[in-house]
Structure 1
Amino acid sequence: MTINADPQELAKFGELAHRWWDPESDFKPLHQINPLRLAWIQQLSPLAGKRVVDVGCGGGILSDSMARAGAQVLGIDLSTKPLRVAELHAMEAGTEGVEYREVAVEALAAEQPGSFDVVTCMEMLEHVPDPASVVRACATLVKPGGWVFLSTLNRNAKAFLLAIVGAEYVMNMLPKGTHEYARFLKPSELAQFCRDAGLDLQASRGLTYNPVTQRYSLGSDTDVNYLMACRRPG
């Protein structure tokens, strides 16, 4: 199986792995938005007792919080160093109900189809060569009636100005080169990937940042960052 990953992307996040759990580091935005996305997932599909796979888990920020919410979580990624950081953090923090594995989502889908109540894939689709393949694999992994949660970046001038020029070069919220504009996905494109994979779109939300209050919030503005919730028909 051809691995659906960009070696440069894996190396980039590998080099930053030691900073993953520092809330004031390059990953500060992930720490800030994590309570918002966790609450949204919980609202639509309460996690207690659920079996969850977190695709592209990185250092485990979302995986860890879902386990603390009562889920049995498998975090998967293809970048070795962040996975080791995730495992170390779980050990040091005493987080139960979470494990990590270096495996491609497509390979896991072939191995364990229909095995998970919830599948999450956050801030990853814009980093892979074939995002549609990831969505198909997520749809394969989830049980009938289960939920798939996705998030990524819109592709338009506003997203380019705010997510790349603003966040990476002006405000230094993210390391320069974190994102490649051509890989951003319009909501219509992601929605089509979901439909093609047999998923029913249930809800979408936008994630916005207020530079004055330095806070993120969920709302209806999907111009830059957005989330989608889908279900596999039962």
Structure 2
Amino acid sequence: MSGTDQAHRGDAHGHTISDHGRRIDGHGLMIEDRHDHEAETYDAMARELLATWTDDDYRVDPARIPFPNREHVDYLTAAVDQLRPLAGKRILEVGAGGGSLAVWLAQQGAEVVGIDVSAGILEVARKRAKVNDVAGSTTFVHCPVERFDPRAAGLDHDRYDAIIGNNVVHHFDRHAAMASLCRLLAPGAVAVFCEPVLFAPEWVRSVRNSRLVTRRFPPHTHTPDERSLGEEDFAIMRRWFRHVQWQPFQLLARLQNFVELSDRTWNALESMDRTILRCVPFSRRACRMVVVTLALPREEIR
């Protein structure tokens, strides 16, 4: 047995577990290391925001979903629509970041818990909740979804009427996160995530992520460990949930990955995409983004 074989062993879901008990994902990274990478990035971002923003920068318009940019408008709207009605619901936002969506959901009458691996960015979220007068209906917890336990965090509940996340699943330890989502969903509830996808063979991913290509066309990522979802990720979801559905967005608009598009060009391409994705079924697998809906956890592994 080689030194590597001696140092690591597998778990029931095909992850590797080191002799120190730390989980390793399918790409050779310690899960904790991935969390640390992400936290460093967003902690640094938070320090800048907290030092430079005024109260006006934290304000959220309750009449409009707080889209980070134009690219989110279609798919984030579709994701939020799956959670309606919002008033009176207890909602968990995974990867809450600076709290824009959590605050907006609270403004609609929801009770919101936001979790994130970055303690710094959650300070931004708390300031945003205070400025928008929803601090009483929002709670922010520094914890990755893989380990999140509401009771252990001092909350008075175990489950949620809805779960939402925007561009976060591709950061997860997939199996550990799916197990946690199963525990956190109340009966009849859904978890909805907006995610980048690449339904392509591994060699295509390798070419896209090669130094030669990324030097000319840098990936639109914040941290080095991000990876678009593929077939294997949906297979994992189906192992944990009986209902796994995805809605495609952005086809021709994928050009944004390679060149900055004007608003006029973007809007024209996105309008064409809506028609193509609706009328040409096989085009769905070439989309750039999806809204994933998870429901009905498998009781035998819950």
Pairwise TM-score range, normalised by the shorter structure: 0.7 to 0.9
Name the residue aligned to 1:103.
143
- C-alpha displacement at 1:161, in angstroms? 6.0
Name the residue aligned to 2:160.
116
Name the residue aligned to 1:184.
228
Name the residue aligned to 1:151.
194
- C-alpha displacement at 1:67, in angstroms? 1.7
Name the residue aligned to 2:40.
11
- Aligned residues of 1:151 and 1:227 also touching (Cα < 8 A): yes
Aligned length: 224
CA spacing shift, 1:37–1:184, aligned 2, 3 Å: closer
Residue deviations 1:119-144, cap 9 Å, x none? Answer: 1122122234x233222211221112
- Aligned residues of 1:38 and 1:66 also touching (Cα < 8 A): no
- C-alpha displacement at 1:201, in angstroms? 1.5
- Aligned residues of 1:127 and 1:179 also touching (Cα < 8 A): no
Q: Could you tell me which of 289, 292, 297 is aligned with 1:225?
A: 289
Name the residue aligned to 1:198.
241
Q: Which has the higher contact order (CA 8 A, sep 6+)?
A: 1
- Aligned residues of 1:54 and 1:75 also touching (Cα < 8 A): yes
Q: Could you tell me which of 172, 175, 191 is aligned with 1:132?
A: 175
In 2, Cα distance between equivalents of 1:196 and 1:51:
26
Residue identity over aligned pairs, in percent, reads 19
Residue deviations 1:21-47, cap 9 Å, x none? Answer: 869xxxx97344555445323432312
| Matched position secondary structure for 1:84 | helix
- C-alpha displacement at 1:182, in angstroms? 6.8
The gaps in structure 2 that reach 5 residues or longer are 1-20, 24-30, 59-65, 278-283
- C-alpha displacement at 1:207, in angstroms? 4.3
In 2, Cα distance between equivalents of 1:168 and 1:90:
39
Q: Is 1:64 paired with 2:93?
A: no
Residue deviations 1:171-230, cap 9 Å, x none? Answer: x995xx6254772221x3332222111341244232464723245678445632222012
| 2:171 maps to amino acid | H
Q: Which has the larger radius of gyration?
A: 2
The gaps in structure 1 that reach 5 residues or longer are none
| 1:40 maps to amino acid | A
In 1, Cα distance between equivalents of 2:82 and 2:125:
26
CA spacing shift, 1:76–1:120, aligned 2, 3 Å: same
- Aligned residues of 1:74 and 1:100 also touching (Cα < 8 A): yes
In 2, Cα distance between equivalents of 1:149 and 1:168:
33
Q: TM-score, with normalisation over the residues of structure 1?
A: 0.75
Name the residue aligned to 2:6.
none
